[in-house]
Amino acid sequence: MAETTESSHQEDDGAGRRDFLGMLTVATAGVGGAAFMWPLISSFNPSADVLALASTEVNLDALEVGQSITVIWRGKPVFIRRRTPEEISEAENVSLDELIDPQSDEDRVENPEFLIMVGVCTHLGCVPLGQKSGETKGEFGGWFCPCHGSHYDTSGRIRKGPAPTNLPVPEYVFLNDTTVKIG
């Protein structure tokens, strides 16, 4: 009896140790495999050459009041509109309660005359209409995204439609009165 107990005890012990070694092997292989996945996954993120194209300088000399231009920054269109006094007052006089993504106009501009923002609809990334003179500006006089019907006001804030947030304002500084550096 004692022998049997001892041998079965030994067998149990052996099995437990083998299980442990097995688990250790699988865990090591698993961690190793996962660690090897990291460089592969990371290679899909923006590469150094893409990140290097960080900033753009724009001359605003030729831009008249009421006109807009579109420039490319990081592969995306950036809208610059020299707003009319009516557009500025319209943007400033909206009550924040009416807004889907409340933000005051002065938080979105350095100089109220120049509205600068990324011209990519925050819904699914189309370029909204309203930059060129013939294009529809939507129900709020700003921009209108034709893809899924988002309306933006004269401060680029979302007012109606599926987009969740306002058109984003990129980092920028005025190098002098008529030159702006985006990014």
Partner 1 sequence: MQSDSADPEFKGIVKWIDRRLPIFTMLHKEYMVFPVPKNLNYFWSFGALASITLIVMILTGFFLAAQYQASTADAFNSVERIMRDVNYGWLIRYVHMNGASMFFIVVYIHIFRGLYYGSYKEPRELLWILGVVILVLMMGTAFMGYVLPWGQMSLWGATVITNLFSAFPLVGEPIVTWLWGGFSVDNPTLNRFFALHYLLPFVIFAVVFLHVAALHIPGSNNPDGIDPKGPADTVNFHPFMTSKDMIGIVVYLMVFAGLVFYAPNFLGHPDNYIPANPLQTPPHIVPEWYFLPYYAILRAFTDDWWFFQIFLGWWMDAKLAGVLAMFGSLVLLAALPWLDTSRVRSCRYRPYYKWAIAVFVINFLILGWVGGKPAEEPYVLISQLSTLYYFFHFLVLTPVLGWIERPKPLPASIGMPVSTPAE
Residues with catalytic function: 148
Q: Establish if 69 lies at the interface with partner 1 (CB under 8 A).
A: no
CA distance 12 to 30: 26
List the one residue from 82, 99, 141, 146 that touches partner 1 (CB under 8 A): 146
Q: How many CB atoms lie within 10 A of CB 100?
A: 14
Nearer to partner 1, 70 or 179 (CB): 70
Contact characters 89-128, partner 1, x per CB under 8 A: -----------x-------------------x--xxxxxx
Chain residues 17-56 in contact with partner 1, contact rule CB under 8 A? 41, 44-47, 50
CA distance 34 to 73: 36
CA distance 120 to 128: 7
Q: What is the CA radius of gyration of the chain?
A: 29
List the one residue from 70, 89, 111, 179 that touches partner 1 (CB under 8 A): 70
Considering CB under 8 A, how many residues would be counted as binding partner 1?
31
On whether the CB atoms of residues 97 and 103 are closer than 8 A, the answer is: no
Task: Tokens for 4, please give them.
Answer: 């049997």
What are the two backbone dihedrals, phi and then psi, of residue 80, each rounded to the nearest 5 degrees?
-125, 120
Contact range with partner 1 by CB under 8 A, out of 25-33, 89-97, 105-113, 143-151: 143-151
Q: Establish if 170 lies at the interface with partner 1 (CB under 8 A).
A: no
Cα distances (Å, whole numbers) of residue 117 to 11, 79, 149, 175: 72, 5, 19, 17
What are the residues binding partner 1 (CB under 8 A)?
Answer: 41, 44-47, 50, 70, 72, 74-77, 100, 120, 123-129, 145-149, 160-164
